[in-house]
Amino acid sequence: AQSVSQHNHHVILSEAASLELGCNYSYGGTVNLFWYVQYPGQHLQLLLKYFSGDPLVKGIKGFEAEFIKSKFSFNLRKPSVQWSDTAEYFCAVNGDNAGNMLTFGGGTRLMVKP
Amino acid sequence: DTAVSQTPKYLVTQMGNDKSIKCEQNLGHDTMYWYKQDSKKFLKIMFSYNNKELIINETVPNRFSPKSPDKAHLNLHINSLELGDSAVYFCASSWEGNEAFFGQGTRLTVV
A96, pLDDT greater than 70 = no
Contacts of A44 in chain B (CB under 8 A): 43, 90, 92, 102
> Would the CB atoms of B104 and A100 count as touching at under 8 Å?
no
Closest Cα in chain A, distance from residue B48 (Å): 6
Tell if the CB–CB gap between B42 and A107 is shorter than 8 Å: yes
Residues of chain B contacting A46 with CB distance shorter than 8 Å: 99, 101
Dist. CA B107–CA A77, nearest whole Å: 31
pLDDT in tens, B28-65: 998 899 999 998 888 998 988 886 688 778 789 999 99
Residue A84 burial by Cβ neighbours in a 10 Å radius (0-12, 13-18, 19+): exposed
B33/A101 touch (CB, cutoff 8 Å), yes or no: yes
Is residue A97 predicted with pLDDT exceeding 70? no
Q: Are strands A108-113 and A10-14 parallel, antiparallel or unpaired?
A: parallel
Chain B residues in contact with A102 by the CB 8 A cut-off are 33, 45, 92, 94, 100
3-state secondary structure of A43: coil
Highest mean pLDDT of the ranges A95-104, B57-66, B101-110 = B101-110
B103 shares contact with chain A (CB less than 8 Å): yes
| Other residues' Cβ atoms within 10 Å of the Cβ of residue A41 | 9
Contacts A106 to B, Cβ<8 Å: 41-42
Indicate the residue of A42, A103, A109 with minimum beta-carbon distance to B45: A103
Q: Are B90 and A101 inside 8 Å of each other by CB?
A: no
Size of interface A-B (CB pairs under 8 A): 53
Quick count: other Cβ atoms within 10 Å of Cβ B9? Answer: 12
- Which pLDDT score is estimated for B1? 61
What are the tens digits of pLDDT across the range A14-70? Answer: 999 999 999 999 987 788 999 999 999 899 999 999 999 999 999 999 999 999 999
